[in-house]
Chain A
Amino acid sequence: MTAGLNRTRRRPLKTALWYVVLVLISVITVFPFLWILLTSLKGPTDLLFSTPPQFLPNAPTLDNFARVLAALPIPKFFLNSIVAATATTVLNVLIASLAAYPLAKMRFRFREPIFYLLLATLIVPLQLTFIPSYLLSRFFGYYDSLPAIIWPGLASAFNIFLMRQAFKGVPNELIDAARVDGARDWRIWWQIALPLVRPTVATVAIFTFVTSWNDFLWPSLMLPTIANKTLPVGLAALQSYFSSDFRSIAAGVTMTVIPILIFFIALQRHFVRGLAGAVKG
């Protein structure tokens, strides 16, 4: 399964060296979080800034967490993020796979122009649209509510592009056979084509979810009221709220990061497979 596999097992010294390398790399990737976690557990008598640094809290405490929870509605931020990211992902994948199917498998007059139009929008940085979209949010009346961040994220030319690549791989014989059996295009799309491109659906869904979950700039413009904020926007608010209270900021970051990590460790297999399949399309 693994290409270029080393015969490390027969060489204990070499194996040990690899583990040293692996551990050193994980120190680099994990240390900032570990430091945040340790800081969040420190009480008022523990030193944050000292030379040499104090790593472990002498008197671990959860006070910082209580202080953050009393000041900011962290569970609400979570709920908002879950609702927004889930709605965006489900609808986006549905809309993208609908749009991609005829582009891959049907012949119609404006197919090429539509496809190139979509490709062209792929290029447009979303930030460019923020000023008019700000006005649109007033026009549609969803300013300062979750639909403000869901609606503009529903159509993604990139996802349509990936789905189209996948649908192209569906054998025409299958589609023709279904048509001979009397199936309509909608049924062929739903019952034959879509199940065959499930790996790409997973990829697209994962990319969309992560992007939506971590999105910051647009939600920060759209969600001024504290109770409406998503996690990243809430975290930024937390940072200014507790400005120099590092222990509380650390507690806030810890609370937001740990559930996401659990979520991703649970889904790691799917996550990696999706990401890995992205390139094959």
Chain B
Amino acid sequence: MTRRFSATPYLFLAPALVLIAVFVLYPIGAVVYYSFTSWDIVRPPVFVGLDNYQQLLGDETFWKALSHSIIYLLVTPTIIAMSIVLAIIVNRKLRGIHIFRALYFVPAVSGSIAIGIAWRFLFDRNGIINSILITLGVIHDPIQWLSDPGLVLPIAMLLTIWAGVGYYSVIFVAGLQNIPEELYDAAVIDGCSDFQKHWHVSLPGLRPQIAFVAVISSLAALKVFDEIYVLTNRTGGILDSATTIVFYLWKQAFVNEHAGYAAAIAMVLLVLTLLFSIVNVRLLERGQERV
């Protein structure tokens, strides 16, 4: 079949391609260039070769930030496991179940800044969590949740998990409802317990949803910023104990005005996301094929 050239497909694509060229492709190219410069955003950049990258290698905070971002990825398997359990719990016909489902969704729609502030209240030195723990006699002195370098990052991760589980479980509930009832009946006839039933029927049936949530939540975890910003009051935590790669990028570019150096950090973020996405896109495509 021979076809004449038609401009139509390109016209359909034009708005998206122009926008992506301006707001994604050009900035990437620019960042690559800036990463080889010394630049404070205001004055023109000065080419310095590999200086920024060399400096990164010896920058303790950078390595800390990088390791924190990788640690942060632990939220993904946790979210998946907890969301599936929650989905199984709410996927039953009980009176008023949709009210509970709505309640579980509240953290997800409230926005990261609002929930971050709410958590600061809870975990304040004088906050309700310390009061409850002291009242119950679990601890004697208040714990410095948000100024203890060992606790800030885990609390931020907990916040991400807390906000994510209700959201992602909706996806898993839909997945569960697509699994044919007969499979469960067959499992029961084969003598499966409740747990085995979900292990052998629900989990394999949820494969596409698991792939999808893994992609979305791990990319979000790599880019975490808001939670850190609010919980640490824009500091990244004492001794940078909660500084992640994006937080460090922001701080270098827009607080310290080391835009060239920040561009080099951005390149590291790009490589990191690239590695992750190759794995993720494969997962996503495999998940889609199975539906």
Contacts and interface: CB of A to CB of B under 8 A. Distances in A.
Are A and B genuine complex partners? yes
Interface of A: 1-6, 8-9, 15, 18-19, 21-22, 25-26, 28-30, 32-33, 35-36, 39, 48-53, 95-96, 98-99, 101-103, 106-109, 111, 114, 118-119, 121-136, 151-152, 154-155, 157, 160, 165, 185-186, 189, 210, 213-214, 216-217, 221, 231-233, 235-236, 239, 246, 249-250, 253, 256-257, 260-261, 264-265, 268, 271-272, 275-281
B212 A278 contact: yes
Given A95-B15, A155-B24, A276-B171, A49 B131 contact: yes
B135 A52 contact: yes
B110 A99 contact: no
Contact of B16 (A96, A151, A233, A279): A96
Contacts of A154: 19, 23
Contacts of B269: 125, 127-128
Interface residues of B, number: 110
A25 to B, nearest CB: 6
A186 B12 CA distance: 9
Contact of A261 (B100, B106, B219, B266): B106
A102 B113 contact: no
* Main DSSP-derived SS at the B contact region: helix
Contacts of B113: 214, 216, 232-233, 235-236
B104 A152 contact: no
A143 B77 CA distance: 39
Interface string B199-241: 0011000001100100000010011011001100000000000
A108 B3 CA distance: 9
Given A98-B15, A102-B12, A123 B274 contact: yes
B121 A35 contact: yes
Contacts of B92: 2, 4-6, 8, 18
Nearest to A186: B8
B67 interface: no
B122 interface: yes
B248 to A, nearest CB: 11
Contact of B28 (A28, A124, A136, A279): A124
A1 B177 contact: yes
A205 to B, nearest CB: 15
A25 B249 contact: no
